Amino acid sequence: MCGIVGYIGPQQAAPICLSGLKRMEYRGYDSAGLCILQDGTLHIGKKAGKVAEMEREVDVAAMTGTIGIGHTRWATHGVPNDVNAHPHSDASGAIALVHNGIIENYLTIKKKLLHAGYAFVSDTDSEVLAVFIGMLYDQLHDFELAVRTALSEVEGTFGVVVMSAHDPDMLIAARRGSPLLLGVGQNEYVIASDASAVISHTRQVVYLHENEMAIVTRHDGFHTKTIHNEETHSVVEQIEFELDAIEKSGFDHFMLKEIYEQPNTFHDGFRGRLLVDEGNVRLGGLQAVADKLKHARRIIITACGTSWHAGLAGEYIIEQLAKIPVEVEYASEFRYRDPIIYSDDIVIAISQSGETADTLAAIREAKRKGATVIGFVNVVGSTIARETDAGVYLHAGPEIGVASTKAFTSQLCVLTQFALYMGRMRDLDARTGKEIAAGLAALPSLIHRCLEQGPAVQAIALAYAKATNFLYLGRGVNFPAALEGALKLKEISYIHAEGYPAAEMKHGPIALIDENMPVVFIAPKDEIYDKVISNIQEVRARNGTVIAIASEDDTSIDAVADHVIRIPETLPILTPVLASIPLQLLAYYIAVERGCNVDMPRNLAKSVTVE
């Protein structure tokens, strides 16, 4: 959740760390802080609020020194205030750290430290870790050993960077359950939660593995080992995306930019994979498990949030094309109910970041029970990508806006290709395969046409920005798109919204409908179109306002809808991709009209790396 950064090298550390925090602020923005080693002393400046507020209150220019750490926080233990902001120091003020994660046994450790006479100033678990390391240093007089000993005794998750005035030319980074990478530059190193904070300095990175530490020194470079002091062999990899991928490029918000990137990102999701003439796909990342996929009896999809919605759409698509039963599980519930998993099950984990804590826990449970686990993730080098048996990257590029947009359609792209791959491996005929492949290939241009509806969607958004409730309805494969549309509105505009299967409306939600309740219907011209029209009539009979997402050639729907947003015709199972575009725009323009912080909605963070 939180963003952490560290720097050691010949340059001034404060501006580099500050720039890194700005790049990673979508990971958390409850508070921010810096620690710089200056003239043998650690100088800490921190402030509740966003990075810009910390920059206004802290004299960053006066924090001179060539080694430092920084943090932007999503609060877990302790309310967002100045005292609970990171970095935290030990009792002597000579050791400081930044931490992403949760120390689950912090109360046990804290009691021991209190009994030993140590005091605390914050409510955080992170300060307990800092004081614990300080106590161990007092006993061991070895910075690395103190950090390693502390981390071997804590329970929970951490991505942590630690610095010490006792060892002014050393940074120590470690991870368990929280992402961390080391950027390797020319005689300088940048440690960060993700590549966005590193790319302006170097494209060469080392992704730390679970329970791995990096000891970085000014003169000897870096080496890695496990927390239990076993040497590891680091692999330096290349960052693939360009710097402009994490810039706004003239858009008012990252979210709007990412919405408009979808013609390209969807194309990138099938480029080099889709075999239109053969009606098939080539998914090289699944080659190692192809035989297990062919003989699988069941597929379980596990994910959270937007990725869960994509997985739910995937259930419809995979069952239709591959004729194999699919179950979709909330990752946050999966491992806690002792799920029944067979050795010939395929478990698919979907995650934009590849670091989602609940999804990681779910795949580890699935692997423990003998299933084959594959990952559909966006971030190269992420934990899920490394821990699954095989997988497919989304190729959506960096997604900075906290509310996911392009990752959702890219997930649908990969899921549909997977369904086609599984179908052709089984009984799906070539003619149908070619139809699906051609439909996928046409979607980037159709997405572009959906984006041309932006001004019309904005006009509707202005009319309903003061609404307090919305209902989103769809049937079949469009029901997950309705769920996702409602989630987008909730996330960024703070309007209460619910997604439902349209036919379920009369089993409860219809009681809410009156003249103040806008109802968004996904109503393409498909085999259940007439049923959706009947549901629209039920809303109109109760004075509800109808906003319809309808096919371009549908003229009859104008008679029953107050507003119509047109999307191009496509194959019915591909409709959620196109329907999601105006729903993203609707949420965006309503949030802007309400004065909400679109890219950094309250209480949220981009990557949920804690349970």
Q: Hey, which residues are catalytic here?
A: 2, 606
In the chain, the amino acid numbered 427 is D
Rounded distance, CA 274 to CA 337, Å?
38
Query: Residue ranges of the alpha helices (H) in 274-396?
Result: 290-294, 305-322, 331-334, 357-368, 383-387
Nearest alpha-carbon partner for 479 in 335, 599, 313, 230:
313
Rounded distance, CA 258 to CA 405, Å?
7
* C-beta of residue 411 within 8 angstroms of C-beta of residue 266: no
Rounded distance, CA 27 to CA 18, Å?
14
* SS3 (DSSP) at 69: strand
* C-beta of residue 547 within 8 angstroms of C-beta of residue 489: no
Rounded distance, CA 161 to CA 68, Å?
10
Rounded distance, CA 570 to CA 447, Å?
11
* C-beta of residue 509 within 8 angstroms of C-beta of residue 470: no
Rounded distance, CA 169 to CA 174, Å?
17
The string of DSSP codes covering 33-57 is EEEEEETTEEEEEEEES-HHHHHHH
- Within 8 A by CB and 6+ apart from 189, the residues are 6, 7, 8, 9, 171, 182, 183, 216, 222
Q: Give the position of tokens 């949920």.
A: 608
* C-beta of residue 384 within 8 angstroms of C-beta of residue 359: yes
Q: Phi, psi at residue 60, to the nearest 5°?
A: -65, -35
For 343: left if phi > 0, alpha if psi spans -120 to 50, otherwise beta; the answer is: alpha
Rounded distance, CA 99 to CA 610, Å?
12
- Within 8 A by CB and 6+ apart from 395, the residues are 265, 268, 269, 271, 378, 410
Rounded distance, CA 42 to CA 191, Å?
18
Quick one: DSSP state of residue 60? G
* C-beta of residue 130 within 8 angstroms of C-beta of residue 90: yes
Q: Cα-atom radius of gyration of the chain, to the nearest Å?
A: 25
Rounded distance, CA 183 to CA 239, Å?
10
Q: Label residue 591 exposed, middle or buried (CB < 10 Å: 0-12, 13-18, 19+).
A: buried
Helices (H) then strands (E): counts for the chain:
18, 26
* SS3 (DSSP) at 501: strand
* SS3 (DSSP) at 472: strand
Nearest alpha-carbon partner for 577 in 433, 399, 417, 381:
417
* C-beta of residue 394 within 8 angstroms of C-beta of residue 410: yes
